[in-house]
């Protein structure tokens, strides 16, 4: 629909977007979300709601405005803030490329006669638990522009969602933490949080974000180094409430 109307509305939409970026205002409707009636199954007991990813349906015009993420990514790449090890939610990288790199490194270690320790990490409901104030601190630490930073802060605050199922609707519920699932900016904001955790914690081991954590173990010292990194990750996980 928007594509068909683009010749008619493009001037108005452009003026609206420019005004929102200057004032950092967010229309109230852009802070509302419908939780989809067809959640994505993850694992475990299919009768348990906690085993599903509940994607939020948000305003299409807001998603278009969120395409500012491309400029944020350019900024991060220019200053080399996105590490090579970051595989999730990064263009031209994926879980598959993560697995290929992982297999190459493990095979190389084993061919050289070294034992390898591998630990898989999973931050439970990490997308839902990200504290907004800490996320904004991370964005500021990455020198995200003042207007963009303020707009994202306003976009995250005061959000509400409800569930629509079988023609029935729930009451509106305040969203006090996390990045909006189903949004354009959400995955990038999560990556930024994980990038800073990566910089603060890992000293010795190789962390292939976001799936696996591996280290060549050829001495007692290397075992202890890996334990040190794991303790650091735990401390950062607690500090960031994920």
Identify whether the C-beta of residue 192 lies closer than 8 Å to the C-beta of residue 143.
no
CA-CA distance, 190 to 89, in Å (whole number)?
9
The per-residue pLDDT for range 166-193, each reduced to its tens digit, is: 788 899 999 988 888 778 898 888 888 7
The per-residue pLDDT for range 191-235, each reduced to its tens digit, is: 887 776 665 555 555 555 444 556 667 788 878 888 887 888 788
Closest by CA to 188, choosing from 118, 135, 110, 131, is 135
State the burial class of residue 89 (Cβ atoms within 10 Å of its Cβ: 0-12, 13-18, 19+): middle
Cα Rg for the chain, rounded, in angstroms?
21
Among the residues of 157-185, which ranges form H helices? Answer: none
CA-CA distance, 230 to 49, in Å (whole number)?
30
Closest by CA to 142, choosing from 229, 74, 92, 88, is 74
Please provide the size of the chain in residues: 242
Which pLDDT score, from 0 to 100, does residue 156 have?
A: 93
Residue range 118-140: average pLDDT? 81
H/E element holding 34?
strand 32-35
Task: Provide the CB-side half-sphere exposure for 237 (13 A, CA).
Answer: 15
Which pLDDT score, from 0 to 100, does residue 37 have?
A: 59
Segment of 50-64, 84-98, 126-140, 141-155 carrying the highest mean pLDDT: 141-155
Residue range 155-170: average pLDDT? 88
Cα 15 from chain centroid (whole Å): 29
Assign 174 to helix, strand or coil: strand
Tokens 């509302």 locate to 32
Q: Is the pLDDT of residue 89 over 80?
A: no
The mean predicted confidence, pLDDT, of the chain is 81
CA-CA distance, 109 to 113, in Å (whole number)?
6
Which pLDDT score, from 0 to 100, does residue 2 have?
A: 74
Which pLDDT score, from 0 to 100, does residue 210 have?
A: 45
Residue range 32-44: average pLDDT? 77
Which pLDDT score, from 0 to 100, does residue 209 have?
A: 47
Widest Cα–Cα separation across the chain: 69
Tokens 């959000």 locate to 159
CA-CA distance, 149 to 126, in Å (whole number)?
21
Residue range 9-29: average pLDDT? 93
Is the overall model pTM greater than 0.85, yes or no?
Answer: no
């Amino acid at each position: 629909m928007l594509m068909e109307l683009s010749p008619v509305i493009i001037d108005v939409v452009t003026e609206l977007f420019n005004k929102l970026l200057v004032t950092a205002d967010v229309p109230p409707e852009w802070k509302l979300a419908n939780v989809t009636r067809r959640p994505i199954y993850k694992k475990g007991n299919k009768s348990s709601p906690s085993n599903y990813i509940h994607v939020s349906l948000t305003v299409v015009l807001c998603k278009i405005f969120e395409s500012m993420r491309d400029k944020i990514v350019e900024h991060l790449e220019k200053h080399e803030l996105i590490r090579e090890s970051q595989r999730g939610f990064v263009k031209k990288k994926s879980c598959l490329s993560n697995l290929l790199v992982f297999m190459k490194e493990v095979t190389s270690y084993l061919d050289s006669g070294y034992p390898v320790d591998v630990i898989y990490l999973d931050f439970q409901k990490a997308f839902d638990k990200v504290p907004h104030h800490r996320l904004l601190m991370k964005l500021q630490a990455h020198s995200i522009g003042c207007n963009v930073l303020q707009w994202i802060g306003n976009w995250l605050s005061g959000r509400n969602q409800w569930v629509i199922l079988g023609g029935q609707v729930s009451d509106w519920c305040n969203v006090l933490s996390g990045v909006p699932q189903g949004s354009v900016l959400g995955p990038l904001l999560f990556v930024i949080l994980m990038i800073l955790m990566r910089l603060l914690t890992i000293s010795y081991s190789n962390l292939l974000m976001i799936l696996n954590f591996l280290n060549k173990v050829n001495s007692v010292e290397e075992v202890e180094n890996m334990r040190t990194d794991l303790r650091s990750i735990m401390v950062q996980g607690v500090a960031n409430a994920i």
